[in-house]
Amino acid sequence: MKQFPPFELKAVNISKSFDSFTSIFSPIDLSLRNGEILGIIGWNGSGKSTLMKMLSGTLLPGTGSLTFHIDGTQLENEQIPMQIGFIAPYLTVYEEFSPKEHAQYFCDMSGVDFNTALYEQLIEVTGLKQHESRQIKAFSSGMKQRVKYLLAMIRQNPILLLDEPSTNLDTKGQEIFRTIVNMHKVMGGGTIIATNEQAETNFCDHIISLS
């Protein structure tokens, strides 16, 4: 697996309002660099998922700015999602595919070469090797969550955004979560974890509370 070049994801004064009056949370500043793990905590409804969507580039901030620099070059806003692997309970997978078909399709539609060696490593790490020829629709909810981990890593994006990453995962699945986070850190990637689980915040170098 490759080592990521120097990068920084930076948010300045970002917030969001859906009624044009009341912000979901107070404006936030944050930054993420190589090897860092940042935790986002807060009660249900405090805006953790909204913040994660803004950081992923899939939802525009209501206030403030989001920038991403890699190797000293600032990317255009529309390029930011291509730098991010995103896992969340509300994201779905194409259940008619097998894991390998889905990974190949995901790379194709992103314009990224499918890395067979990386896929073989990830299918082992996620514990899906013996199921890789089955359609995802036959998977349990926990296995579908593991597929999301595979997809988040297959493009070798420098940033991982993990929103409630242990959703539907059993004890073995939670070990996979820890393995993936550590693997990404060793590569020089940055990770943001939105959670209220202390076992997950224990990974984090810094914590931002939305409560």
Residues 99-117 have a mean pLDDT of 96
Quote the number of domains for the chain: 1
The rounded distance, in Å, linking the Cα atoms of 31 and 20 is 26
* CA angle at 81 for the pair 76 and 83, rounded to the nearest 5°: 90
- Provide the pLDDT for residue 23: 80
Establish if 114 belongs to a structural domain. Answer: yes
- Provide the pLDDT for residue 22: 76
- Provide the pLDDT for residue 2: 77
Establish if 1 belongs to a structural domain. Answer: no
pLDDT tens track for 30-87:
999 999 999 999 988 899 999 999 999 889 898 999 999 999 999 998 999 999 999 9
Residues 6-26 have a mean pLDDT of 88
The rounded distance, in Å, linking the Cα atoms of 59 and 61 is 6
Residues 105-124 have a mean pLDDT of 96
Nearest Cα neighbor of 87 from 40, 32, 139, 151 is 151
- Provide the pLDDT for residue 116: 96
Using the predicted structure, report yes or no on whether residue 1 has a pLDDT greater than 80: no
Which helix (H) or strand (E) covers residue 192, if one does?
strand 190-194
Establish if 116 belongs to a structural domain. Answer: yes
Q: State which residues form the domain around 183.
A: 7-209
Number of Cβ within 10 Å of residue 25's Cβ equals 19
Number of Cβ within 10 Å of residue 34's Cβ equals 16
What are the residues whose beta carbons fall under 8 Å from the beta carbon of 122, sequence distance 6 or more? Answer: 103, 149, 150, 153, 154
What's the chain's average pLDDT? 94
- Provide the pLDDT for residue 108: 96
The pLDDT-based confidence of 161 (bands split at 50, 70, 90) is: very high
> What percent of the chain shows pLDDT beyond 90?
83
Q: What is the CATH number of the domain that holds 61?
A: 3.40.50.300
pTM for this predicted structure: 0.95
Which helix (H) or strand (E) covers residue 163, if one does?
strand 159-163
What tokens does 197 get?
């689980």
Number of Cβ within 10 Å of residue 17's Cβ equals 12
